[in-house]
Structure 1
Amino acid sequence: MNRLEEVVNHWLWREDFWLPPGVTWKDIAEGTSKGSRHPVPRDLLISFPLALGFIALRFVFERVVSLPLSRRLGVRDRVWVHVTPVPKLEAFYLQKKTEPSQEELQALVKLCGLSEQQIQSWLRRRRVQDRPANSRKFSEASWRFGFYLIIFSAGLISLIQTPWFWDHRECWSGYPAQAVAEAQYWYYIVELSFYLSLLLCVSVDIKRKDFQEQIIHHIATIFLIAFSYCANYVRVGTLVMLVHDSSDFLLESAKMFNYAGWRKTCDALFVVFAAVFLVTRLIVFPFRIVYTAVVDSLDVFSPYPGYYFFNGLLLVLQALHIFWAWLILRMVHKFVFLGKVERDERSDDESEPDEDDEVGEEEEERSWEQKKGALNSKLASLANNCVLNNLTNRRQKINSRTPKDR
């Protein structure tokens, strides 16, 4: 085991890259008080089996807790009309779910013997049929809500009495000889395991509007947690995790009530979430946490490769915060001028960008055809009445003539 650790430290955790000049892993271990925990890279290995445990726990939670709770709160699933089975179109749809190109559309016309409009209409209805049910979306949101609420509460309790919670310059006091409390160690391991589980489940989860941004966020968070633990940036790392958890559980709770149809509760939670998100992600995070990592840390050590790597990841997260803040401000604008939150633009648009418009156009066309048919029938009836009235008037005139006139 020691031999394997030496190889990993030599090739992966190179001291000249990850640690400030003149600092070694032994300095971090020997500098802490006797009997206290100090960070070493092998501590992170436990996060992999824990990530699999989170996936299993989520499977049980969604079926035992989330589904019964969704029914109790009144979550209803839409019943979509199933399309008429067309094996050749079904094979094309399963292979390529995007909108077909003109060449592919012409090939499908020859292959299936249907018109272009019929094929496009079938594919639109097939995509609608695959939309995730509200109960499934509720289950995912409730799982994340439960985790974020618990981990934020635990993190706040463990950090509120620490000196660096109030004075961020304390994050670097005595570095690198900083002991890690047991609560902070498990805070790190649990957070890392959870984000690993999210990354492993991303292919089966509901694909949302900001899917790519979420992937970048998960990867950046995993690297950030792993590096900050190994380089003993634990103090500033715990603050980063706490700031992110502070608004996430509010977002997930707003989603849950949105799927349940509790509009007023959803709107109220969204307003609280927007306020907390904008304050923590656009004020606290850049001006307190990023500042202390970029500026205050230079009082302890000079810049080195790990310094740029860590702060680069922080800036990636900040760029994502700005992107999500823009989406949230759009939602706030709709809330102020329309009076309600119609859709969570941050991360809860599972359909394709134009899919709703296409389905709406199809329904409008169908409605127009029905209206046109009704109008034609009324016009025909009116025309018949006009003809009958003309014939009746002519007969009355003939009958009203005098015999001499006849």
Structure 2
Amino acid sequence: MLSQLRELIWQDWIWFPEGLGWADLKDHDGKVYPKLTDLWAALPIALCFLVVRQIFERTVATPLASLLGVTDKQRFRAAPNPTLESYFCKVSKHPTQSCLEDLCKQTGCSVRQVQRWFRQRRNQDRPSKVKKFREASWRFTFYLLAFFAGLAVLVDKPWFYDMKQMWDGFPKMPLLPSQYWYYMMELGFYVSLLFSVASDVKRKDFKEQIVHHFATITLISFSWLVNYIRAGTLIMLVHDASDYLMESAKIFNYAGWRRTCNLMFVLFAAVFIVTRLVILPFWIIHTTWVYPQTLYAPFIGFYFFNGLMFVLQCLHIFWAALILRMVVKFLPGNHIVEDERSDKEETESEGEDIDNGRKEKSKNGHMQNGHTPLNNNHSKRE
């Protein structure tokens, strides 16, 4: 039954235009074509990336952080309290007013003491600045090298200048060694990001990042199988064009280089909008969605590939909105760029300012009970 299902799934009419099929991708006359088994190479490459990343962060990123003066603030650890710890882990990191009063009764602590405990406990779980610096340095290095590698692979190809040529001879387009290594490195890197997702810095768009990684891995793998490699290399280059700029802005942000950070972020925002909201949809997706319909009747594989492209485009619009919101925030007042996706570490003074401000509201009749109200989310954007 499994063999019958496999045969049904891999029918030519599903993945190729009428009259074309898997037989067209068999090696012949010294010409090599992509194969399913090639994708297994991404797994050892991903493991190599994980090892190289550990070495890079210890031998390059950490000394660089020290050289640039990136240090972690001293954090006060929350005192052991089984009752509060149980609530923190099982219920919520931000107790409501009613729950706060219950916790005060159970522990015999004041409202201020419980608030301070939760603030310190939340800070314990937040990644350190040095950790974020190391992660940004690693991604910056990869994206920068990948971008120039992609340029080297594509700069002498005719479809780099005339995208309609990505369909010339489809799918009988021989695989080039440079395309093979570019694909495997990109695929291996995104697989390594999935492997390290549990230990990486978690941001507010964590779910969107997971969707992006899965969509990217599926898109790269599928485009390899059906020999959409010319389109795939263009798509990967467009993504790498702005990613290294964002990581560089983070690096300068953590180092406290305010003006340089702002400059890199503005440059990143401009490149992101041009590549992700102009070039990708109006040039590349137009060439993968509209133009092929003038050559072939639509087929399932055509819809599948472009469906993944539309998923990525929706994520790009989501991130573009965050980027524009950050630009609007920092340009008028010339403030440092802050990543909308991250939590800022809470300080004791911040917590006390919030508490004092709410006490003033209470005195003015805005609050009815005698306790200091507790905000459900003290965290600020980083």
What amino acid is the match of 1:23?
A: L
Compared with structure 1, are the counterparts of its residues 159 and 130 closer, same or farther at alpha carbon in structure 2 (3 Å cutoff)? same
> What does 1:202-281 align with in structure 2 at a 5 Å threshold?
202-281=197-276
Counterparts of 2:112 and 2:65, CA distance in 1: 38
TM-superposed deviation, 1:254:
0.7
Contact 2:327 2:337 in 1 (8 A): no
Q: Could you report, residue by residue, the CA deviation over 1:328-353 in whole angstroms, capped at 9, with x for unpaired residues?
A: 111222232111334022x4x135xx
Asked if 2 retains the 8 angstrom alpha-carbon contact of 1:155 and 1:242, the reply is yes
d(CA) in 2 for partners of 1:225 and 1:314? 11
Change (3 A) 1:332 1:110: closer
Moved more, 45-54 or 85-94: 85-94
Distance 1:358 1:39, change over 3 A: farther
Q: Does structure 1 conserve the Cα–Cα contact (< 8 Å) formed by 2:262 and 2:337?
A: no
Corresponding residue pairs, total: 358
SS of 2:343's partner is coil
Equivalence for 1:296: 291
Matched residue, 1:398: none
Determine the structure 2 residue equivalent to 1:112: 107
Does residue 43 (structure 1) correspond to residue 38 (structure 2)? The answer is yes
Match 1:24 to one of 18, 21, 25: 21
Change in CA separation of 1:63 and 1:166 when aligned onto 2, cut-off 3 Å = same
Query: Which aligned pairs between 1:307-326 and structure 2 lie closer than 5 A?
Result: 307-326=302-321
Matched, 1:15 2:12: yes
Q: Does the 8 A contact of 1:70 with 1:138 survive in 2?
A: yes
Letter in 2 for 1:26: A
Distance in 2 between the 1:136 and 1:7 partners? 50
Deviations 1:203-225 (A, max 9, x none): 22111121111111111101100
The question of 1:350 aligning with 2:347 is answered: no
Compute the displacement of 1:301 (Å). 1.9
Q: Is the 8 A contact 1:138 1:255 kept in 2?
A: yes
Letter in 2 for 1:247: S
CA displacement, residues 129-181 of structure 1 (integer Å, 9 cap, x when unaligned): 33211110000000000100111111101101000000000000011100111
Q: C-alpha displacement at 1:106, in angstroms?
A: 5.6
Offset of 1:312 from its aligned partner?
A: 0.7
SS at match of 1:317: helix
TM-score w.r.t. length of structure 2: 0.86
Query: What SS does structure 1 have at the residue aligned with 2:126?
Result: coil
Q: Indicate the RMSD between aligned Cα atoms, in angstroms.
A: 2.5
Distance 2:11 2:128 in 1: 48
Match of 1:60 in 2: 55
Deviation at 1:279, TM superposition (A): 0.6
1:197 Cα deviation after fit? 0.9
Cα shift at 1:308 = 0.6
The Cα shift of 1:89 comes to 2.0
In 2, the alpha carbon distance for the partners of 1:359 and 1:318 equals 41
1: distance between equivalents of 2:94 and 2:69?
A: 34
Counterpart CA distance in 2 for 1:189 and 1:59 is 20
Give the direction of change, closer, same or farther, for the CA distance of 1:288–1:298 in structure 2 (3 Å limit).
same
- Distance in 2 between residues matched to 1:333 and 1:366, nearest whole Å: 30
Query: For each residue in 1:18-69, what CA deviation from the matched residue of structure 2 results, as whole angstroms up to 9, or x when unmatched?
Result: 2233322121225xx6223201111101111221221121112111111011
Gaps of 5+ in 2: 360-382
Quote how far apart the aligned CAs of 1:102 are: 6.2
CA 1:11–1:93: 2 relative to 1, 3 Å = farther
Report the alpha carbon displacement of residue 364 of structure 1 after superposing the two structures with TM: 5.0
Of 141, 148, 151, 1:153 maps to 148
Contact 2:70 / 2:130 at 8 angstroms: preserved in 1?
yes
> Aligned partner of 1:221: which letter?
T
Picking from 159, 163, 166, the partner of 1:164 is 159
Could you tell me which runs of 5 or more consecutive residues in structure 1 were left unpaired when the two chains were aligned. Answer: 370-406
2: CA distance between counterparts of 1:15 and 1:118? 67
CA pair 102-15 structure 1, distance change in 2 beyond 3 A: farther
Q: Could you tell me whether the CA contact under 8 Å between 1:188 and 1:238 is conserved in 2?
A: yes
- Structure whose alpha-carbon radius of gyration is higher: 1
1:368 Cα deviation from its structure 2 partner: 11
CA contact (8 A) 2:15 2:21 kept: no
TM-score (norm 1): 0.81
SS of 2:201's equivalent in the other structure is coil
Who is 1:141 aligned against? 136
C-alpha contact (below 8 Å) 1:37/1:182 kept by paired residues: no
2:116/2:348 contact within 8 Å kept: no
The amino acid that maps onto 1:79 is Q
- Do the aligned partners of 2:223 and 2:232 also contact (CA within 8 Å) in 1? yes
